[in-house]
Structure 1
C-alpha cells in the first residue's frame, strides 16, 4: 500500500512502517484524444531534486512495455527521486495508474491549435473548456523565454521599421499560426544573399518571436528528421539555415514533403500501417545559393511547383539585408546589436500573439478578410498567371499577419508598414524570379566591361533612331546609356536567372545605374523599360580602359578614358 505525503510517496509494510520510495508526484488529469477513443494516458506532475515542477503524460500504451521502462527513464533523467529496486518502480506505477482523477485533458500529438487553444511541447495557451497537453515525440529544443514582450518591442521590434527584409521575416514568423485558417498550403520563404549580408541576423530576429537561437534547424537534417520537426512545429515557424548543406538530390522532394504537410506511409513491426500525421507550417530559410543553382549541379531545373512552394527573395536593400540602420555607424554594428538583443529578449512574443488570436470570435473570417483586402489593394490584377497569383496571396498573408499584430498593439510599427514592405518584396520577386544577390563583384565587373565594349558602337543619341542601334545615350555631365531591359537581361544571364538581379542590384549599390521605378530597379520612359547606367563611371572607378571618346565629338578634352584616375580604395574594391 502506498501513501502520498508532501515530500514524496511512501510504502507501508505489514507492520505499518513507512518507507519512502519516491519524491512527490501527482496525477493531474486523465488524457485522451478529442474523440475519447485513443491516446489515453495520465498527466503527471512531479518535482525534481531542485524542487522544479515538471509535467509529462504517462501513455497507457507504454505501461505494458516492460512496466513503462521508457517513461521511467524519462523520470530519472529529469531528476525525479526514485528508490532503487524493482519493487519501488512497479509499486509507484500501479499507484499512478489506479489513483482516481476526475479532470480530463485532450492529447495533442503535434503543436498548434486544438479546440481553441495553442499547444506546444512546453506550454498551452488559449480559451478552452477542456485543456490540451502535448503528447507527441518532440524532435527539437524546448522553447526558451528571456525578458518581456516590452523588452522585445523596444530593443528589436522597433528596429525592423524601414527594413523590408526584416519585416518579411517577422511577418513570416507571425503568419505560421494563422495559415491553417486559410486555403493556402504550407510554403517557405528563402532569403538568399552572399556571406555576411545580414541574412542570418534576420533569421535570428524571426526566431526570437518563438525562442532563442536553438530554435533553428538546418537543411542537413534527414528527410525523416525534418518530418518529425515539422510535426512539432505545426502552426509554428520552422527555421532552416544553410540551404547549401541539403543534398541536391533530395532538396526537390524535401520541399514537396514539407509543403504537402503529410507524413510518409510507414509499416509497424506487425505489418499494420502506422498513423499518418498532418501539419501546416511556414518555413524560413537562408542560403547563399538559389534552388536553381543547387539543382544546376546535378543538371536539373526548378519545377513550377517548387518555385511557388519555396519563394526565393534576394537581399535587395541598401546594405544587403538592411535598408535603415537606425543611426548605427555601419550595417555590421547594426547586425551585432540585433544579435546581442535577441540573445537577451526572446520567446515572449509568441505567447502574446496566440493568446490574442485565441480571443477572435471568428478567426478564419477575420484573417481571410485581412489578407484578401491587402491583395486587392496591391497594384497587380487578379488575372495574372496562377503561379504568380498564388505567391502574391502568400505575401498578402504575411502582410496580414503583420497588420493584425500592429492593430493589436503587439508590433511597434505604424499601420500599413507591413503591407507596404511586403508589396516591395513582392515587386522584387515578380521582377526577377529565383533571384538573389551575391557579392561576386569581380565577375559582375568583367561582364559589364565586356558589354560596354560590345555595345559602344551600337547606340544612337536620345531622340534619334539609326539602323543597328540597340539603345540610346545621353552625353550629359555623366555619359548615360539606356539599354532595353529584356536585352540587358538576356546578355547578363549566362547560366542562372538570378544573375540579372544580382548585376542590377550591384550597379545600383555602386551608383553605376539609376532607376525611376524604385523596387523594380528599371528606368521607365513612356511605356518602355530600360537599364540606365553610366559606362564611363564604371570604367573610371574600376580602372578599365575603354575608348568612349566618340560620344563627345566636339569636346577634345574628353578624348578617352585610357588613363583613368581613381582612389586606391576603389581600385581595391574593383
Structure 2
C-alpha cells in the first residue's frame, strides 16, 4: 500500500512524498479480537478491507506527527464536516436498541454523543468508523474509539494530564484521566489500565502515545487531586465525588477533573424512593439512626462554616448495632459496605482521608487494646492529619490537613483506649472525636422496631434493604446544595449558631464534664443536626421538621468524656489489687525466696519485701478500666527507669530480661 506524505518546507512550499506501508499485522500490541458484537462489516466498500489492517509504517509515526500537516487549528476544518467514514450507528446487545420511530434509545444516545465529539475533534488523517467501531489512521485500524476531553492542570500550573473518554469492552463510554508524566515514565502501566477496561490497540505503542500528544483540539480544564470542594481562580466552587462526578452551579466556567477517580460498580442500586421508604422511615424514633444518616449528609458542610474534622465514635458491645449505624450512613454515599476497618487507618489514613475529603469517613472496630499504630492514627485525627504512608501525588510531605466527618465504632470509649498509653488524650482529639454510647435502648442502638418481632429481625430487615437501595441520597443532596450554595450556606450558619447555643446551654446545666458543654463539641454535634434538617427541607428525608436537630440534641445529652463503669476510688482500687495478687499467688515469684518456682505456668509478676511488681498485660486483661484504677492509687505507684511512663523497669539483678512492670509500695497497699 502507498501513502502520500505532505511536507511543509521553511519557505512555505509543499512537497508530496510517497511511502509504502506494510499491511501485515506484525506489531500489534494487543491481539486482535473477533467479538461479533465489536467487529461489524463496514458498509463502505472502500474501508472494508483497510479497516481490519493494523497500522505499521516503515517510517515511525512520531516523525510524521512532527509534520505541520498534523497541526490542528482551534476550530473545525472542512474535513471535520465531511466524515467519509461515518455510517449509521448500528445497535448491539450492549448498546441498546432503537425504537419503532427510528430514534436512538438511551444507551445509544450516550454513544451518539461520544461519537459526535470524536468526529469533531479527531486530528487530521484520523477518522472514526462507527460500525466497527474503531478509529482509523488513513483507512487502517488504529485503536478503539476514544477522545481527549480536555487538557487538565493544577492551579499552580503543574500536574498536566489528559482527561480521556474511552469506549470500554461493554460499549460504554468511560472517563479515564491520564497523567502526562505517566505517558513518559509509566507507559506499560497505562496500557495495562486500558486493557483492563477492554480497550484495544492495533498499532505500535509509541504511535498511540504520539496520537494522544497531537490531540490539540480539546479545551483546558483544572486538575483536582482529591474529591471534595474545588474552587478555581475567579470561578464558582464545585464539588467532586470520589468517582469523579462533578456537581457545579450553572455559573461555573471551567471544568474540573479528578486525577484518580475510584471505580465502584456497586455504588448505586435501587432507587431514592426505595431508600426513603425502606430505610429512612425506619429511622423515625431511633435517634442514633437519625444521627448517623444526618452525619453522612454533613460531610460537605464543614467547609461552609469553617470547621475541619467532626468525628463521633459509637461504643458498645458486639450486639449493640453500632456497626449497622455505619453501614446505614455509608448507604447515603454508596455501597453500605463502604466502611473501612480501623486497621486500614493505621497505614492508610492519608489515602482514606484524601478519598473522604469533604465527605464521610467510616471506620469500624477500634481495638480494645490498641497498638502504637492505632494510637498514632487516632492522634493524627485530632490534628486533622493523616497517618501512615503519605501519598506523593496528593500529600507529598504528609502535612495536609484533612476536612471530613468521621463515624467510628469501638467497644470502649476512645478516651479510655488512649488512656492506656503514656500520655493523656490531647484536647484537640477530644473536641474532634466525641464518644457516644450505642447501647441506649432495650434493643441496643434502636428503640422503635417498626413492626419487627425483635431487635435481630429489625437489624436483618434493615441490612436487606440497604443491599437493595443505596447511593442515591448524597448526589441528590449535592445537586440541591450547589444550585444555590450562597443562600444555603447563609441559612446553615444561622441554624448552626442557634442549635449550638441550645445544646451547649443544656449540657452546661446537666453535664458540665460533657464535650457538649464546650463550644467546639456542641458545634460539631449541632452540625450533624443541621445537615439532617437541610436534607429534610430538600425533600430527601421523609421526616418531620425538627427530627434531625432533636436527635443531635439527644445524642449530645449522651456524649461523654469519661469511660463508663470505672468508679475506682483509692480504697476500692487497693482492694482490687490485693484480690488480684491473692488470686494469682502461684504466678507471682517471691524474689527473696529460694528456690524459685518452676513449671509452665506463665508469670504475672514478682514481689520482694518492699514491693509488688505486676506485669501490665495480664493485669489489664483482668481489671476493668485499669488506667482509672492506677490513677486512684497513684500515691502507692512507684515508676522508675521509663521516661513519661507509670511503669518500672526491673533491674537485671532481680530479673535478667528486665521486664516493664507496675511497682506498688507493699506497706501502703495494705
Q: TM-score, normalised by structure 1?
A: 0.69
CA contact (8 A) 1:44 1:55 kept: yes
> Residues 163 and 184 (structure 1 numbering): CA distance in 2 closer, same or farther, change over 3 Å?
same
Mapped to 1, the partners of 2:507 and 2:412 lie a distance apart of: 31
Q: List alignment gaps of at least 5 residues for structure 1.
A: 13-17, 438-446, 448-491, 499-574
Mapped to 2, the partners of 1:267 and 1:191 lie a distance apart of: 28
Q: List alignment gaps of at least 5 residues for structure 2.
A: 1-60, 62-124, 232-236, 567-575, 577-622, 630-670
Match of 2:532 among 402, 414, 418: 402
Give the match for residue 553 of structure 1: none
Q: Does 1:22 align with 2:22?
A: no
Deviations along 1:211-266, one digit per CA (max 9) or x if unpaired, are 11341111111544121111011011011111118843233331232343345799
Mapped to 2, the partners of 1:246 and 1:156 lie a distance apart of: 34
Mapped to 2, the partners of 1:274 and 1:288 lie a distance apart of: 33
Local SS of the residue matching 2:223 = strand
Alignment of 1:50-449 (within 5 A): 50-65=170-185, 68-83=187-202, 88-115=204-231, 116-122=237-243, 123-127=245-249, 128-136=252-260, 144-244=267-367, 247-262=370-385, 277-295=400-418, 298=421, 301-315=424-438, 316-362=440-486, 363-378=488-503, 380=505, 388-430=518-560, 433-435=562-564
Local SS of the residue matching 2:314 = strand
Local SS of the residue matching 1:209 = helix
Local SS of the residue matching 1:401 = helix
Deviations along 1:139-173, one digit per CA (max 9) or x if unpaired, are x8567001121111111111111001101111111
- In the alignment of these two chains, the number of paired residues is 431
CA contact (8 A) 2:308 2:403 kept: yes
Local SS of the residue matching 1:213 = coil
Give the match for residue 458 of structure 1: none
Mapped to 2, the partners of 1:394 and 1:369 lie a distance apart of: 14
Deviations along 1:28-72, one digit per CA (max 9) or x if unpaired, are 11212235x122111111112221221111211222215x33222
Mapped to 2, the partners of 1:88 and 1:339 lie a distance apart of: 50
Match of 1:8 among 107, 127, 134: 134
Mapped to 2, the partners of 1:26 and 1:149 lie a distance apart of: 33
CA contact (8 A) 2:345 2:377 kept: no
CA contact (8 A) 1:231 1:277 kept: no
CA contact (8 A) 1:4 1:24 kept: no
Deviations along 1:481-523, one digit per CA (max 9) or x if unpaired, are xxxxxxxxxxx9964779xxxxxxxxxxxxxxxxxxxxxxxxx
Deviations along 1:173-203, one digit per CA (max 9) or x if unpaired, are 1111111112323032111111121112211
> Residues 396 and 267 (structure 1 numbering): CA distance in 2 closer, same or farther, change over 3 Å?
closer
Local SS of the residue matching 2:343 = coil
> Residues 351 and 92 (structure 1 numbering): CA distance in 2 closer, same or farther, change over 3 Å?
same
> Residues 268 and 310 (structure 1 numbering): CA distance in 2 closer, same or farther, change over 3 Å?
closer
**Which structure exhibits the higher relative contact order, with contacts defined as CA atoms closer than 8 Å and separated by 6 or more residues?**
1
Give me the CA root mean square deviation.
3.2
Local SS of the residue matching 1:418 = helix
Alignment of 1:515-526 (within 5 A): none
CA contact (8 A) 2:319 2:444 kept: no
> Residues 353 and 434 (structure 1 numbering): CA distance in 2 closer, same or farther, change over 3 Å?
farther
CA contact (8 A) 2:382 2:428 kept: no
Deviation at 1:436, TM superposition (A): 8.7
Local SS of the residue matching 2:325 = helix
Local SS of the residue matching 1:194 = coil
Deviations along 1:532-563, one digit per CA (max 9) or x if unpaired, are xxxxxxxxxxxxxxxxxxxxxxxxxxxxxxxx
Mapped to 2, the partners of 1:369 and 1:434 lie a distance apart of: 34
Mapped to 1, the partners of 2:628 and 2:450 lie a distance apart of: 33
Deviation at 1:346, TM superposition (A): 0.3
Deviation at 1:293, TM superposition (A): 4.2
Mapped to 2, the partners of 1:298 and 1:379 lie a distance apart of: 30
Local SS of the residue matching 2:269 = coil
CA contact (8 A) 2:225 2:259 kept: yes
Q: TM-score, normalised by structure 2?
A: 0.59
- The structure having more radius of gyration, on CA atoms, is 2
